[in-house]
């Protein structure tokens, strides 16, 4: 029975679909919608609501010309063109159209740079990654399944490759990571042949065959998926996780004792699963205990991990930089790892207000993520008192976290140099930090005269 999407265009897409259809007719081109739009329309629900990009497959060599014609007809900026691949990208109204000419690609096993040549529509869909991404739609909403398997695999919620998995992954090893990312984001199962092929070829997921930037982008999409735990377990089962974050391996089988219900590795995966779907927080949750194996000791028969926060932060930085994450994210994750035990150690009766203010000060703009990380960390164990984080959060609000985070030295570097007749140097940062800490502790009001008086009473702050 023929499958049809009605209406063919979702709300907001009607002008673009009409323009593509009309311009293709004028040029005598056969153009169809392909890939994610068709898949997600058939899946419906949230997937359908999140569509922001549509791929247009043009039979022959007309994709760039069609994109240019559509841009002109819709009065848009000219498309971004990639001549070598016969593709073009067109932005409109926070949406995107991707135009591609039907083609065949061949790869050298040691490179990601393909040799591109024209092909039929069937050639094009067969070179794609998974059968559920090969489905086509004409402008009347009719769905075409040229592989003969895409609709069935979508119905059975399976990740299957159009060709033998080895051939599909030979063309682009990143597809192995994409397979697991789709399994996690779509809640699909990997076909056994696909899972076996990934395990066999896992060693190819590395530069120069696949760039770290591409690996990072796919891994990041998986980390914010609803089924992140399942995705991480599949990455581990197929030997891909060790290619991406080898630092986690040492935690396998390392029991922790106390309130912990899992080994260090299992606890890391469960913490990431329980953390909010924010990339920074989930990376911190995944890596928060990565320093434990390095400091593991048995004392009176019990495992200890003293100082694992600092060691873990020092390990996480290079790991994230290797994956080409931006410096701002690396700094945020390492801050969270370094501080992650502080909220867990919170004692509502034992902590004075100045201890809470210090935590707020040290966490800075990562405070909310730090509390979320603490909740995930505790819930990933048998810790009995997770609600104390709620108490801590309420206490922070009472103490005005915004005002605490905004505390700055009442005295500038210029004022300090002029007053003491000294040149610039590390002493300025030391003095300003001491003044800020005194204000956080409630030992100093935030005004200049009080700051001068404080320095007079603490001359050791001015020593070399």
Tens digits of residue pLDDT in 144-176: 999 999 999 999 999 999 999 999 999 899 999
Antiparallel, parallel or unpaired: β 158-159 and 189-190: parallel
Query: Cα separation of 41 and 47, whole Å?
Result: 7
Q: Between the CA of residue 222 and those of 134, 151, 218, 241, what are the distances in Å?
A: 21, 24, 6, 12
What the block records as the tokens of 138 is: 């004409």
pLDDT recorded at residue 83: 86
* Count of CB atoms situated within 10 Å of the CB of 91: 14
Mean pLDDT of 297-325: 93
User: Omega before 261 cis (within 30°)?
Assistant: no
Report d(CA 54, CA 350) in Å as an integer.
Answer: 57
Taking Cα atoms as reference points, which of 154, 140, 139 lies closest to residue 36? 154
Contact 358, 440 (CB under 8 A): yes
CB count in 10 Å sphere of residue 128? 22
pLDDT at 284: 98
Residue 117 clears pLDDT 80, i.e. is over it: no
Mind listing the pLDDT tens digit for each residue in 1-47?
689 999 999 999 999 999 999 999 999 999 999 999 999 999 999 89
pLDDT of residue 282: 98
Q: Determine the 3-state secondary structure of 114 from DSSP.
A: coil
Contact 360, 401 (CB under 8 A): yes
Radius of gyration (C-alpha) of the chain in whole angstroms: 28
Tell me which of 104 and 141 has the higher pLDDT. Answer: 141
Residue 132's pLDDT band, with cuts at 50, 70 and 90, is: very high
pLDDT tens digits, 201-239 = 999 999 999 999 999 999 999 999 999 999 999 999 999
Distances (CA, A) of 74 to 92, 222, 255: 9, 35, 62
Least Cα distance to 33 among 17, 11, 56, 7 occurs for: 56
Using DSSP's 3-state secondary structure scheme, residue 159 falls into: strand
Distance between CA 259 and CA 282 in Å, rounded? Answer: 21
Count of alpha carbons within 13 angstroms of residue 314, beta-carbon side: 9
The residue with greater pLDDT, 411 or 310, is 310
Give me the chain's average pLDDT, please.
92
pLDDT-derived band at 329 (thresholds 50, 70, 90) equals very high
**Is the Cβ–Cβ distance between 66 and 56 less than 8 Å?**
yes
Q: Does 113 have pLDDT greater than 70? A: no
Q: Which residues of 339-378 are buried (b: 16+ CB within 10 A; e: fewer)?
A: bbebbbebeeeeeeeeebbbbbbebeebbebbbbbbbbbb
Mean per-residue pLDDT for 408-417? 88
Q: Contact at 8 Å (CB) between 344 and 259?
A: no
> How many whole angstroms separate alpha carbon 187 and alpha carbon 225?
10
Q: Report which of 149, 55, 35, 170 is spatially closest to residue 105, judged by C-alpha positions.
A: 170
**Residue 125 pLDDT more than 70?**
yes
Please state, in angstroms and as integers, the Cα–Cα distance from residue 353 to each residue in 348, 358, 374, 399, 464, following that order: 10, 9, 19, 8, 32
Count CB neighbours of 7 within 10 A. Answer: 11
């Amino acid at each position: 029975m023929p499958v049809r999407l009605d209406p063919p265009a979702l709300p907001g897409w009607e002008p673009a679909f009409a323009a593509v259809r009309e311009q293709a007719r004028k040029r005598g081109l056969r153009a169809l919608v392909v890939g994610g739009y068709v898949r997600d329309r058939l899946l419906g629900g949230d997937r359908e609501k999140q569509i922001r990009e549509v791929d247009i497959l043009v039979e022959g060599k007309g994709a760039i010309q069609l994109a240019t014609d559509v841009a002109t007809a819709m009065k848009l900026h000219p498309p971004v063109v990639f001549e070598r691949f016969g593709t073009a990208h067109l932005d409109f109204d926070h949406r995107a159209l991707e135009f591609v000419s039907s083609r065949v690609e061949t790869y050298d096993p040691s490179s990601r740079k393909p040799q591109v040549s024209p092909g039929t529509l069937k050639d094009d869909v067969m070179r794609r990654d998974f059968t559920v991404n090969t489905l086509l739609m004409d402008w009347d909403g009719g769905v075409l399944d040229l592989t003969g398997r895409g609709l069935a695999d979508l119905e059975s919620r399976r990740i299957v490759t159009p060709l033998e998995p080895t051939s599909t992954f030979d063309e682009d090893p990143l597809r192995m990571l994409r397979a697991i990312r789709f399994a996690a984001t779509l809640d699909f199962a990997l076909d056994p042949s696909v899972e076996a092929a990934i395990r066999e070829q896992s060693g190819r997921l590395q530069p120069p065959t696949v760039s770290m930037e591409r690996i990072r982008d796919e891994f990041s999409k998986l980390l914010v998926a609803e089924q992140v735990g399942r995705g991480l377990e599949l990455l581990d089962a197929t030997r891909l996780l060790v290619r991406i974050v080898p630092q986690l391996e040492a935690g396998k089988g390392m029991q922790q004792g106390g309130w912990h219900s899992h080994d260090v590795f299992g606890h890391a995966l469960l913490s990431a699963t329980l953390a909010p779907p924010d990339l920074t927080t989930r990376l911190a949750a995944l890596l928060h205990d990565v320093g434990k194996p390095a400091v593991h000791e048995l004392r009176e028969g019990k495992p200890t991990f003293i100082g694992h926060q600092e060691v873990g932060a020092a390990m996480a930085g290079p790991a994230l930089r290797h994956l080409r994450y931006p410096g701002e994210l690396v700094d945020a994750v390492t801050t969270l790892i370094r501080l992650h035990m502080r909220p867990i150690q919170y004692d509502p009766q034992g902590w004075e207000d100045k201890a809470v203010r210090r935590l707020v000060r040290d966490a800075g703009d990562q405070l909310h993520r730090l509390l979320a990380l603490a909740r995930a960390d505790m819930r990933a164990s048998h810790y009995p008192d997770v609600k104390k984080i709620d108490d801590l959060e309420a206490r922070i609000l009472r103490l005005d976290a915004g005002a605490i985070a905004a505390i700055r030295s009442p005295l500038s570097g210029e004022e300090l140099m002029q007053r003491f007749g000294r040149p610039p140097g590390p002493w300025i940062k030391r003095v300003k930090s001491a003044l800020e800490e005194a204000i956080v502790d409630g030992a100093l009001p935030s005004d200049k005269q009080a700051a001068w008086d404080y320095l007079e009473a603490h001359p050791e702050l001015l020593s070399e």
